[in-house]
């Protein structure tokens, strides 16, 4: 769980993750938050949940950098990324991890668009997500609908074998490109999504979408 300035949500999202009826190993990386996130993690959450592994960056590096910091500490057979906000439903991890637990898939993505009850996505994000998904399908021969979705689930040895180059929000397109070039087909399953506003702390913008598209094109033609 990479976190940056999530003091308003960190208590609740950790509580929800720790209540998921799976064998959860939670690793939280505080990416040099400037609000009370770090203090809450140290004085409240780690006390309440002593098995949580809490790591921190001395300076802000980005989401992908936090993921890279956490990966070597993972001991389980499956790794997934959980954002520190409340836009997702951690109980979705039960069915998202099932194909890997059954040996039916190696990489599983959640899709907001496969959930027929979800209609409250910002139109600009819908368009951007469709463009990125279409690009993945065209460039890499996948058949996915929601490339930027938060929930990406991997067999641990696959994710650990990937050298991640970027440090910020480019994690999604980079890991998608690289697992595709490794020959893995991405399985998609529905996920719930509850978008927050920029005033509530949403961090992605249209420029991140352009960077994501560039990353997908770059790795299609380079290593």
Each of the 223 residues of the chain gets a pLDDT tens digit; together they read 999 999 999 999 999 999 999 999 999 999 999 999 999 999 999 999 999 999 999 999 999 999 999 999 999 999 999 999 999 999 999 999 999 999 999 999 999 999 877 555 566 677 888 999 999 999 999 999 999 999 999 999 999 999 999 999 899 999 999 999 999 999 999 999 998 655 554 556 668 789 999 999 999 999 8
CB of 191 within 8 A of CB of 92? yes
Note the pLDDT of residue 209.
84
Note the pLDDT of residue 19.
98
| 3-state secondary structure (DSSP) of residue 149 | coil
CB of 49 within 8 A of CB of 14? yes
Note the pLDDT of residue 81.
96
Rounded to whole angstroms, how far apart are CA atoms 11 and 139? Answer: 40
CB of 107 within 8 A of CB of 184? yes
Note the CATH architecture for domain 2-221.
Answer: Alpha-Beta Complex (3.90)
């Amino acid at each position: 769980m990479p976190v940056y300035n999530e003091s308003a949500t960190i208590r609740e999202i950790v509580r929800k993750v720790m209540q998921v009826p799976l064998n959860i190993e939670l690793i939280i990386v505080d990416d040099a938050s400037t609000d009370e996130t770090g203090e809450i993690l140290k004085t409240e959450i780690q006390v309440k949940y002593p098995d949580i592994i809490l790591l921190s960056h001395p300076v802000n590096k980005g989401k992908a950098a936090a993921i890279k910091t956490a990966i070597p500490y993972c001991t389980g057979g499956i790794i997934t990324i959980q954002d520190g906000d409340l836009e997702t439903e951690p109980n979705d991890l039960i069915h998202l991890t099932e194909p890997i637990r059954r040996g039916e898939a190696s990489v599983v993505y959640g899709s907001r668009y496969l959930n027929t009850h979800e209609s409250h996505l910002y139109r600009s994000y819908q368009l951007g997500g469709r463009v990125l998904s279409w690009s993945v399908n065209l460039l890499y021969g996948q058949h996915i609908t929601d490339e930027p979705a938060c929930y990406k689930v991997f067999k641990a040895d696959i994710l650990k074998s990937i050298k991640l180059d970027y440090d910020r929000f480019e994690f999604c397109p980079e890991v998608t490109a690289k697992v595709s070039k490794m020959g893995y087909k991405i399985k998609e399953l529905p996920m719930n999504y509850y978008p927050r506003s920029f005033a509530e702390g949403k961090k992605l913008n249209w420029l991140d979408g352009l960077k994501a598209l560039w990353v997908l094109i770059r790795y299609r033609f380079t290593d």
